[in-house]
Structure 1
Amino acid sequence: MNYYELLFTLISPEDYQRDLLIDELATLGFDTFEETEFGFNAYIPADTFDRDTVEEMLEPYYEQFTFSYEVNLIPQKNWNEVWESNFEPIEIDQKIRVRATFHEARPDYPYEIVIDPKMAFGTGHHQTTAMMMALMLEHDFTGRRVLDMGCGTGILAILAAKLNAEHIVAIDYDPVCYESTMENAQLNQADNITALCGSEEAIPDGKYDTILANINRNILLDQMESYSRVLKAGGDIYLSGFYESPDLEIITGAAAQFGLKYSAHKEMKDWVAARFVK
């Protein structure tokens, strides 16, 4: 799959300005973002990119702050080179280390996850993924059946496996993410992960002890009922991909309508990851 890369440059960038644009672009189907010194890069599958729609979305922001962008078409064959030039290992709470296949192993970390860099969201570098992983560390996954929605590279599913979950179903609508999840599960000897390509309609019959969903606010709101339907009573759900204000209140209200009670959340650079219990 080919992707379009939009290179955004902001004059005197503030974090909130960058995050506003990223949040809006995510609703249009942009699924990967990379912060840069003077802005950020955004990536979207070529077959879903519509420049007129992007311009219409950006129009109000031209009056609020100064920015510009350029568009490049990136063939899939070049993506590994892009990631390998930018991918550095990350550490979370001194317990998790996420590295690529070309980095040296560090067995001194309790949980080391190997991710083969590709055009798939979820390397742990974005605040939402890091916070989801930090939240997961605080709870017992032993023997649990887990559903990972919008799995990207499969990083959260892999962590669930390393935390002794019994079985994990990982779902993403993007074929690249589906393939990446299968490959990364194999790299991490996580043979209890089943990867599926699709959206909420692909959720297998059955009940889950835990649901992981790091997507974006609009999709979470749209799929909340489906999540609640397959979550066991007493089960928990971890949600991210949205901001503290006003999104957390909106998400909490929507979750309550389906019997999901707010438990706790983490915040990093205005992004939020929250846990709810049914």
Structure 2
Amino acid sequence: MDYIQVSFSFEQIEEYQQDLLVGQLAEIGFDSFVDSTKGFDAFIIADQFEETKLKEVVEELDFAVRYEAQEIAPQNWNEEWEKNFSPLIISDNCYVRATFHEPQPQYQYEIVIDPKMAFGTGHHQTTTMMMQYVLETDVTDASVLDMGAGTAILGILAAKRGAKDIVAIDYDEVCYLSAIENAKLNAIENLVSLHGSKEVIPQTTFDIILANINRNILLDQIESYTAVLKNGGLILFSGFYETPDLDIIKSHAEQYGLVYQNHKKMGDWVAAKFVKK
């Protein structure tokens, strides 16, 4: 699978401005982002790349940005991750590392991730907050649905914390395969990876749903989630901003019997907890 790499550079940019740009790029199909010395690189499957949409995003920005697009071979991605992916500690008891890092058995939970082109290493604020929620939540014997699973890092953490079974779903074939590989790397046998979107959600019921995607996809899929969530079940959402997205998500969720509980915030990004009435 061929990818387009778009390298963004800035004379001056605030962190929140970069986060907003990343969010807008995600909405037009970019699925992976790597920091660089002058800005960041964004990646998109070649046949999904439309430069007219990219130009529209850039033209609407209120800060100066330069970009350069080039087609890259998929195997270059691993080299990029090895240069940029450092180990990560979440909530003092969860250690996330790549296959090329040394184990750290002193941590209660250790997750090994080979990300390739899949989103979800814990480094992005949305993934970090979702992992914090999973670490705070009793998932023992729970059935878990991980939507937009990426590397399946959230589902893997849930499994390590005692979840009974996990279904990880992603529309990107690279993510679907990455979830299978990462489950094996972590000796997780009760995680099933499915390729697709809301149409492949099993017609069963779940105790917990994890959905770290983006606002527009969440709004489209909330009805599908609540249809398979048990009464009293928990949904954790992320992939959107506090303003104006959180109120929009709350309002839409209420239509389907989801009651807002609380939310976390890192930078401008938010993760929110809802319970089904």
Separation in 1, partners of 2:242, 2:60: 22
Shift of residue 114, structure 1, vs aligned partner: 0.2
Partner SS for 2:60: helix
Q: Given the alignment, which residue of 217, 227, 230 partners 2:228?
A: 230
TM-score, length of structure 2 as denominator length:
0.97
* Residue 259 of structure 2 is aligned to residue 266 of structure 1: no
Separation in 2, partners of 1:60, 1:105: 45
Shift of residue 224, structure 1, vs aligned partner: 0.6
The answer on whether the counterparts of 2:212 and 2:238 sit within 8 Å (CA) in structure 1 is: yes
CA-based RMSD: 1.0
* Residue 169 of structure 2 is aligned to residue 196 of structure 1: no
Partner SS for 1:195: strand
Partner SS for 2:34: strand
For 1:101-250, what aligned pairs fall within 5 Å after superposition? Answer: 101-250=99-248
| Structure 1 runs (4+) greater than 4 angstroms displaced | none
Separation in 1, partners of 2:26, 2:12: 23
Amino acid at match of 1:53: K
For 2:71, the equivalent position in structure 1 comes to 73
The answer on whether the counterparts of 2:58 and 2:65 sit within 8 Å (CA) in structure 1 is: no
Partner SS for 1:53: helix
Separation in 1, partners of 2:110, 2:77: 24
Separation in 2, partners of 1:268, 1:34: 18
For 2:274, the equivalent position in structure 1 comes to 276
Separation in 2, partners of 1:239, 1:223: 11
Separation in 2, partners of 1:267, 1:36: 24
Shift of residue 37, structure 1, vs aligned partner: 4.5
- Matched residue count: 276
Separation in 1, partners of 2:266, 2:34: 16
The answer on whether the counterparts of 1:13 and 1:38 sit within 8 Å (CA) in structure 2 is: no
For 1:26, the equivalent position in structure 2 comes to 26
Q: Which runs of 5+ in 1 are unaligned?
A: none
Amino acid at match of 2:83: S
For 1:11, the equivalent position in structure 2 comes to 11
TM-score, length of structure 1 as denominator length:
0.97
Kindly provide the CA deviation profile for residues 96-152 of structure 1, in whole angstroms up to 9, marking residues without a partner as x: 110011111111101100001301000111010000000111110000000000000
For 1:57, the equivalent position in structure 2 comes to 57
For 2:45, the equivalent position in structure 1 comes to 45
Separation in 1, partners of 2:259, 2:10: 39
Amino acid at match of 1:5: Q
Separation in 1, partners of 2:76, 2:11: 29
| Percent identical | 58
In structure 2, relative to structure 1, the CA distance for the partners of 1:91 and 1:116 (3 Å cut) is: same
Q: Which runs of 5+ in 2 are unaligned?
A: none
In structure 2, relative to structure 1, the CA distance for the partners of 1:31 and 1:237 (3 Å cut) is: same
